[in-house]
Amino acid sequence: MITIFTDNQAAIRACASPGRSSGQQFLRRIIRVIDRLRSLRYTVRIPWVPGHAGVCGNERADVLARQAATEEGFLPTKILASTCRTRLRERAAADWKRQWATSEHGALARRLFSEPTKEIFAMHKPLRRAGSAVLTQMQSGKIALASYLSTIQRWREDALEANPLLRDPAQCSCQKGAQDVQHVLLRCPRFAELRFRILGLIRDEEPWTVWLTKPDSTAKAIQFMMQTTLLGQFGALPTTYQATRAGNAGL
């Protein structure tokens, strides 16, 4: 018979019923050793003794444990694949949040979302590919509207060459402001009728960001932006195109 005394009741319970106890890699090693001993016809007992109660062997074990905790170096140990995956996911999520907060790019996206979350990806699940692309462009601000295109030198030069009287290539043709997502979505008078038909009556007190962050609203915003025909890359799609999966197949 082999008897192992310990003052750790949690360890005894974990060995008797491992389940989802923490320290699985250590528990598995202990259980493998116990099974091996039993196969050799040994009986293994792990009784509890009170800690710091003058039990000679337990006091000696406590001294050795303290020494092991303070000495430099470590003993090599195996780590479960599931533990590695968990740690990698946690590290990747932390790096993602750090890059989100410190990146020189993505200012508009940070205004919409304080930090990256799974909900951002969930917004794309009901969308077809073209609809998902438009949503990403609207949320990032990198979209084929004059305000963004004018930051590209070649496009800006071509626009000024085509119209020498043009003062600001970023301006919307309505001359009411820069042609960016917010202007086209909520203010441009050229699309007043289309806006009312798709987006409905927009209340002044309603923040414009809801159109790019709330699933029900984003579907309407995508549909509106595509039907303005301002985005030339989607010009081949029919005017009846629906951005959600409930609509068209394919794109």
What are the tens digits of pLDDT across the range 42-74?
A: 898 888 888 767 677 777 877 887 887 776 655
Q: Is 6 helix (H, G, I), strand (E, B) or coil?
A: strand
Rounded to the nearest 10°, the torsion over CA 147, 152, 155, 161 is: 90
Provide the pLDDT for residue 228: 93
The pair of three-digit structure tokens given for residue 71, joined into one six-digit string: 């000495």
Query: Phi and psi (nearest 5°) for 17?
Result: -145, 85
> Domain spans of the chain?
2-70, 118-234
**Nearest-angstrom CA–CA distance, 107 and 104:** 8
The Cα-based distances of 106 to 89, 137, 140, 142 in angstroms read: 23, 11, 6, 9
Superfamily of domain 2-70: Ribonuclease H-like superfamily/Ribonuclease H (3.30.420.10)
The pairing of beta strand 2-3 with beta strand 44-45: parallel
If one compares 66 and 133, the residue with the highest pLDDT of the two is: 133
**Nearest-angstrom CA–CA distance, 100 and 141:** 16
What are the tens digits of pLDDT across the range 197-244?
A: 999 988 877 788 999 999 889 999 999 999 999 998 887 888 778 888
Q: What's the chain's average pLDDT?
A: 86
